Structure 1
Amino acid sequence: MPDWLEIGLRTLFAVVTLFLMTKLLGKRQVSELSFFEYITGITIGSLAAYISLDMEATWYLGLVSLSVWVLVSLGIEFLQLKSKTARDWIDGKGTILIKDGKVLEDNLKKERLTSDELLEKLRSKNVFQAANVEFAVMEPSGDINVLVKKEYLPLTPAHLGIKVGQMHEPQTVIMDGNQMDEPLAAIGLNREWLHTELDKLGVTVENVYLGQVDSYGQLYVDLFDDKIKVPEPQQKASLLAQLKKCEADLEMFGLSTKNEKSKQLYEKCSKELENVIANVKPLLAR
């Protein structure tokens, strides 16, 4: 067999073997790596190259070595699942870099991290001033997670005591100009509804690059032609306007009637509707 053909077949075999063994090791092997996983990844890649190109040695010996590395990795992962001591020893522990707003210089030196690098990591978390940080820790993966002081956290409906409806993941109903029936059925909609919504926007399915339905049942589309601007859905804004109009009408009826009982009833309904509007406004005003 010619050398070029043998190398080609061995490379193909190595690629398939490497793919299967990486699938066996799981997603952790392609995510942020621990020390051992980093070493394992490098070694497995080197062994795959050895299987592909080393013509002078017996190729199956590289496969044996590759299998041993994978089995050892699986064994260590199993051990880590069963023992926290093993996890701490193999992966290491997180290192606190900032505590109670104070930078811990000794821990920075321990991780060989300079102040410039710390500030860079904070900026990657949208924190531009160290004084705003309550707590920061370097994970075993090398990533830094930050807890900002309460006064610098973004305001949420929970801070205002407002309850909001449960959010559901948006469903992609159009992709590359093709409508997707399964996501439509998952949210209880059909093609007729989709075409009706597209007609409101003045576009066809074929012109839509991406279309998604949010948890409130509104369709948002992105067209192939970026020069064309598509108006955003106005159902929620229209509903909010109608609710405000109803409230104004109730107030007007209460002011115009001479019947005291009716006046009190209109005023009561107006206040109740005002409370309803205050509760749903965060959902309707986007």
Structure 2
Amino acid sequence: MPIWLEASIRSASILIGLFIITRMLGKKQLSKLSFFEYIVGITVGDIAAAMSVDLSINLREGIPSILIWSLVPVAVSYISLKNKKFRDFVEGNSTVFIKNGKVLEDNLKKEKYTIDELMEQLRKKDVFRLADVEFAVLEPNGDLNVLLKREKQPLAVGDVFPNAPNEKEPQTVIMDGKILDEPLSTAGLNRRWLQMELEKQGVTLENVFIAQVDSYGQLTADLYDDKIQIPEASEKQLLLAALKKVEADFEIFALETKAEEAKAMYQKNAEKIRNLLAKVEPLLKN
């Protein structure tokens, strides 16, 4: 067998094997690595690279090494789930750097962290004054999490409106010029509504790269042709879309509810919104 062909077969086989091992180890390996997992990843990669290019290495000798280095993290992860002391030993503990607005110098020295490095990490969190920080902790994976003092925290909707309704996730209803029926149904809408909204914006389905519907029933679309400008919806149009969404929600609730009393209530409210729309829609369209 030619050397290039043998090397290609070995490399492809090892790549497939590493892919399977990575799937076994889970998604955590791809995002938040502990020190142990970091060492394992480097070692397995080195062994695989050596087996791919060094044809003098027998696969029977290399595969057991990869399996041992790969299966040990699986065992460690399983034990860590069951035993907190073992998990703390393997992954480490978080270290508090700032508590009650005061920097803990001893903890900085323990983690070999300089004040310059701490300030750098704070700036990455958009924090430029130590006096604004109430609590800061260094996580085992090296991330620094920061809690600002109450008066320095950004204003949230819940601070102004304690009973504000929950925001639903936007639904992607068009992708690559094709309608996605399941997200559209989840939003309580249909293809006819979607086609009408596209016509209002003066675009065709085939020219839409991606389109989403927010929790208020407002459609936003990104086109293949970036030169085409889609007019932004006015406040009147947004209000009209919100009313139509409320009507659709009541109708869905009426269909999904089995209790007759609740079903009648939803149908009655849907009819009220429908009557209201008949009166205000001509005004909101202008």
Q: What's the TM-score, normalizing by structure 1?
A: 0.80
Aligned to 1:121: 121
In structure 2, what is the Cα distance between the partners aligned to 1:235 and 1:195?
Answer: 21
Aligned to 1:258: none
1:121-270 equivalences under 5 Å are 121-234=121-234, 239=239
Amino acid in structure 2 at the alignment position of 1:70: S
The 8 Å contact of residues 176 and 209 in structure 2, kept in 1 or not, is answered as yes
Amino acid in structure 2 at the alignment position of 1:147: L
In structure 2, what is the Cα distance between the partners aligned to 1:89 and 1:78?
Answer: 14
Q: CA deviation at 1:235?
A: 6.1
2:46 counterpart of 1:46: yes
In structure 1, what is the Cα distance between the partners aligned to 2:50 and 2:232?
Answer: 57
SS in 2 for 1:222: strand
1:78-89 equivalences under 5 Å are 78-89=78-89
Of residues 116-125 and 153-162 in structure 1, the stretch that sits farther from structure 2 once superposed is 153-162
Aligned to 1:111: 111
Q: CA deviation at 1:221?
A: 1.1
In structure 2, what is the Cα distance between the partners aligned to 1:202 and 1:160?
Answer: 37
Identity %: 54
Aligned to 1:56: 56
Q: CA deviation at 1:194?
A: 0.7
The 8 Å contact of residues 220 and 233 in structure 1, kept in 2 or not, is answered as no
Amino acid in structure 2 at the alignment position of 1:172: T
For structure 1, list consecutive stretches of 5 or more residues without a partner in the other structure: 244-286
Aligned to 1:264: none
In structure 2, what is the Cα distance between the partners aligned to 1:205 and 1:161?
Answer: 38
Amino acid in structure 2 at the alignment position of 1:52: S
1:28-87 per-residue CA deviation (whole Å, 9 max, x = no partner) reads 111121010001100111121122122112112111111111221111001100011011
Aligned to 1:33: 33
Amino acid in structure 1 at the alignment position of 2:44: I
Aligned to 1:254: none
Aligned to 1:248: none
The 8 Å contact of residues 168 and 214 in structure 2, kept in 1 or not, is answered as yes
Amino acid in structure 2 at the alignment position of 1:79: I
The 8 Å contact of residues 25 and 74 in structure 1, kept in 2 or not, is answered as yes
In structure 2, what is the Cα distance between the partners aligned to 1:156 and 1:85?
Answer: 38
CA gap 1:236/1:147 in 2 versus in 1, 3 angstroms: farther
The 8 Å contact of residues 98 and 136 in structure 1, kept in 2 or not, is answered as yes
Q: CA deviation at 1:223?
A: 1.9
SS in 2 for 1:158: helix
CA gap 1:200/1:225 in 2 versus in 1, 3 angstroms: same
The 8 Å contact of residues 173 and 213 in structure 1, kept in 2 or not, is answered as yes
Give runs of ≥4 in structure 1 deviating > 4 Å.
Answer: 235-238
Aligned to 2:269: none
SS in 1 for 2:67: helix
The 8 Å contact of residues 51 and 60 in structure 1, kept in 2 or not, is answered as no
In structure 2, what is the Cα distance between the partners aligned to 1:78 and 1:11?
Answer: 30
The 8 Å contact of residues 218 and 238 in structure 2, kept in 1 or not, is answered as no
SS in 2 for 1:96: strand
The 8 Å contact of residues 212 and 221 in structure 2, kept in 1 or not, is answered as yes
Amino acid in structure 2 at the alignment position of 1:140: P
Amino acid in structure 2 at the alignment position of 1:220: T
Q: CA deviation at 1:178?
A: 2.2
In structure 2, what is the Cα distance between the partners aligned to 1:43 and 1:58?
Answer: 18
For structure 2, list consecutive stretches of 5 or more residues without a partner in the other structure: 244-286
Aligned to 2:262: none
The 8 Å contact of residues 157 and 163 in structure 1, kept in 2 or not, is answered as no
SS in 2 for 1:98: strand
Q: CA deviation at 1:237?
A: 6.0
In structure 1, what is the Cα distance between the partners aligned to 2:161 and 2:204?
Answer: 42
RMSD over equivalenced CA pairs, Å:
1.8
Amino acid in structure 2 at the alignment position of 1:74: V
Aligned to 1:278: none
SS in 2 for 1:44: helix
In structure 1, what is the Cα distance between the partners aligned to 2:91 and 2:236?
Answer: 50
Amino acid in structure 1 at the alignment position of 2:102: K
Structure number with larger C-alpha Rg: 1
